[in-house]
Structure 1
Amino acid sequence: MYILLIALSASMVLPFFWMLSASLKLNKDVFKFPVEWIPKELVWENYRLIWEKVPFLTFYLNTIKLSVIITLIQLLTSSFAAYAFAKLDFRGRDTLFLAYIGTIAIPWQVYMIPQFIMMRKLGLVDTHLAIILLQSFSAFGVFLMRQFYMSIPNEIIQAARIDGLSEYGIYRKIVLPLSKPALASLTIFTFVFVWNDFMGPLIYFNSERLKTIQLGLRMFIAQYSVDYNLIMAGSVVSLIPVIIIFILLQRFFVEGIATTGIKG
């Protein structure tokens, strides 16, 4: 079992190691065969050129801005809605929850054009606000948080209500402090999704000043040439915030995945 796990881990890490290796080569040596995993001459110049050849810093800051704002809003909206679906009794609750969660099964390509038409009529095309509004609400996030809230004993909620605590107070003082694992899991999922999103920014952003890292990497592709070494260097740099987020929240993430859906 250990040998199998080590082999699977190595196969998953290998592409990232190749990416790092390619980012330190000249463009002509990237696809050299046999593969030179450790270049004889490390071309650190690639990491300087990515900031000069295109406005990569602008793309980087735009991606951070969108990822942080959307993640924070999703944490608020998903946890708030999940509390209502898990701990409040109201007419049609389960039907509404199933209908909302059912939207996960609808491919984004189906409603991509109607969304764009709606954003265009609102005058939000070529603005960051379009992506923020479209991605700030997540059926998956509500489902993840709701399943975790189901594991919180109802007796605690009832005791707080008897003591006179309002629903907002219960949510803020009791439910949220107990939800760190689920919140960490949702943070990682949302941040990584927004950070790696390509189609959304491609559809809604026309101005260069609004573009994100994923669109910025595409700018290293010219009509007759591709700077693979610069693309790999940009990809390595773009991974840093994602790695930092995962390292900071790893303990809560593992705990959240292990306990979500367990009722007790």
Structure 2
Amino acid sequence: MGTKPLMKLLVYALLVAGSAVMILPFLWMLSTSLKAPSEVAMLPPKWIPSKLQWSNYAAAWEAAPFGRYFINSILVTVTTTIGELLTTILAAFAFSRLKFWGRDLLFAVLLATMMVPGEMLLIPNYVTLTQFNWIDRYPALIVPWIVSVYAIFLLRQYFLGIPQELYYAARIDGSRDWNYLWRIMVPLSRPALVTIALLKAIGSWNAFLWPLIVTNSAEMRTLPVGLIAFTSETNTHYELLMAAAMMIVLPMVVLYAFMQKHIVEGISRGGLKG
């Protein structure tokens, strides 16, 4: 066997091993969600339950107002995704097609903000929202997350890959920048926009720290924060916790499984030109 087949075999082996490491926690979560309480902490661990406890899912749903949590998560996810798409499209078009003084410098400063850890912004953002009296309200969950520097960068790179001749031809035909953006650039950039929307939806759906900080009442909690209902100072109901976690994770896993082709295409094509 030559060197090339051996390298290919090694690469596939590493990929399989990496996939196993990534998928094992999800399999353990699924297994635990179907166990009886007595089997959760068994040593050695028991992967396959003696009897599948599907009732854990019903019990988890009834243990907390998950209906309300689902509504909040859907509302926040949809609103922040639409808001980010709008701000990203407008900003990316300005940085890729419009010419104004300080454009490149402003874009460089914008990119520099990506190096600031998000944890450093928690306190300033919280103080700002307190002054607006937005704590424990929907604006606190939505407004700070309708702009993404990474999304602007990704879409700008994609816009730069669209031939400049289309822009000049549209201007000669009398098309304004606004019409050119929405009738030509946006339809041509569908893969990048789908990627941005999916990444934002997954991020918003799984967000935990920020909703935990800015919500005080059960009526405003989102699904990840609602998992706290299964943890107390004396005991944690792991089988119910894992059942609730499965209900939260499954929609995003299915969404990503169907749309991963668009995510890969959008990211790869968005980085071709700078």
Tell me the TM-score normalized by structure 1: 0.96
Instruction: Report the Cα offset of residue 16 of structure 1.
Output: 0.5
Check conservation: 1:150, 1:261, Cα contact below 8 A.
no
**Could you tell me how far apart the structure 1 residues matched to 2:119 and 2:62 are?**
35
Instruction: Report the Cα offset of residue 159 of structure 1.
Output: 1.1
Check conservation: 1:151, 1:261, Cα contact below 8 A.
no
Written as runs of structure 1 = structure 2, the 5 A alignment for 1:40-189 is 40-189=50-199
**Could you tell me how far apart the structure 2 residues matched to 1:131 and 1:100 are?**
23
Aligned match of 1:197: 207
Does 1:233 pair with 2:206?
no
Instruction: Report the Cα offset of residue 244 of structure 1.
Output: 3.2
Alignment RMSD (CA, Å): 1.4
Query: Could you list the per-position Cα deviations for residues 194-215 of structure 1 after superposition, in whole angstroms to 9, with x for gaps in the alignment?
Result: 1111111111111110101111
**Could you tell me how far apart the structure 1 residues matched to 2:169 and 2:41 are?**
65
Residue 6 to residue 65, structure 1, CA distance change in 2 (3 Å): same
Amino acid at match of 2:101: R
Query: Could you list the per-position Cα deviations for residues 215-247 of structure 1 after superposition, in whole angstroms to 9, with x for gaps in the alignment?
Result: 110110012000111111011100122123223
Query: Could you list the per-position Cα deviations for residues 93-119 of structure 1 after superposition, in whole angstroms to 9, with x for gaps in the alignment?
Result: 001111112111111222221211111
Aligned match of 2:36: 26
Amino acid at match of 1:251: K
Check conservation: 1:86, 1:150, Cα contact below 8 A.
yes
**Could you tell me how far apart the structure 2 residues matched to 1:189 and 1:119 are?**
25
Instruction: Report the Cα offset of residue 158 of structure 1.
Output: 1.2
**Could you tell me how far apart the structure 2 residues matched to 1:192 and 1:215 are?**
15
Aligned match of 2:3: none
**Could you tell me how far apart the structure 2 residues matched to 1:146 and 1:167 are?**
15
**Could you tell me how far apart the structure 2 residues matched to 1:13 and 1:19 are?**
10
Unaligned runs of 5+ in 1: none
Query: Could you list the per-position Cα deviations for residues 66-99 of structure 1 after superposition, in whole angstroms to 9, with x for gaps in the alignment?
Result: 0111011101111211011011111110011111
Aligned match of 1:222: 232
Unaligned runs of 5+ in 2: 1-10
**Could you tell me how far apart the structure 1 residues matched to 2:229 and 2:108 are?**
42
Instruction: Report the Cα offset of residue 35 of structure 1.
Output: 2.6
Written as runs of structure 1 = structure 2, the 5 A alignment for 1:235-250 is 235-250=245-260
Corresponding residue pairs, total: 264
Name whichever of 247-256 and 195-204 sits farther off. 247-256
- Which runs of structure 1 show a deviation greater than 6 angstroms over 4 or more consecutive aligned residues? none
Check conservation: 2:64, 2:226, Cα contact below 8 A.
yes
**Could you tell me how far apart the structure 1 residues matched to 2:68 and 2:80 are?**
18
Tell me the TM-score normalized by structure 2: 0.92
Instruction: Report the Cα offset of residue 129 of structure 1.
Output: 0.9
